[in-house]
Amino acid sequence: MEEQEIYILGVGHNTIVYIDLAESCGYKIAGLYHYNEERTGEYVHGIPIIDSNTNLFQRESLGGMNFIVSVGENAIRTNLSNKIREMGGNIPTVIHPSAIVSKYSKISEGVVIHANSVVQADASIGKDTVLSYNTSLSHTSSVGESCYIAFNATIGAYIKVHDFVLMGQSASLVSGKLEYVGKNAVIGAGAVVINNVEADTIVIGNPAKTLDK
């Protein structure tokens, strides 16, 4: 079976992780796009930077082209993804072969699930959300759209994580202790969350407490 080609938007330290992920999922990397033209023509791990995002979006159509957006910042990743879709491009769901994703879970388009992550039955993940490696999403919980769940983070059962949440490295949402994390909230690295987190707030520590702005 012929490999499908895919393009990666975003050139930085994490680009090689996405190259590795896409290749592990059977894609052939056709090229990279950088946010501006200063690196066009360079190679990253043997893959050419073929143009800028700006020039890409000046094309008439992106129909028939596959993309993966290797940008961690939720708002930027979502904006780029929406532009690609508006121009007819495709952002497939990409799940590393070592991840364990229940057939009884619901995974939306554009979701990225990295190596060794676990998504249990009756869990759901919204469009354009990223689960980094070694993350865990327990049963009967949901993660909204455009979230970033950093490595080793754990989301317990019966918890609703709303859109645009950033969850730091090794943070934990404890089953039976909270019901939701509000939109645009930030969970600090290593935080142990035992209470609901309101929208647009930052929580840190063990047990997690709201950080005054």
Instruction: State the 10-residue block means of pLDDT for the chain, 213 residues long.
Output: 86 94 97 95 95 96 96 96 98 98 98 98 98 98 98 98 98 98 98 98 97 76
Check residue 93 and give its pLDDT: 98
Delimit the domains of the chain by residue range: 4-86, 93-204
Are 142 and 162 in contact, with CB atoms under 8 Å apart? no
Across 174-195, b (16+ Cβ under 10 Å) vs e yields: bbebbebbbbbbbbbebbbbee
CATH architecture designation of domain 4-86: 3-Layer(aba) Sandwich (3.40)
Look at domain 93-204 and name its CATH class: mainly beta
Handedness of CA 132, 67, 141, 160 (dihedral sign): positive
Check residue 213 and give its pLDDT: 61
Check residue 177 and give its pLDDT: 97
Check residue 1 and give its pLDDT: 45
Q: Fold match between 4-86 and 93-204? A: no
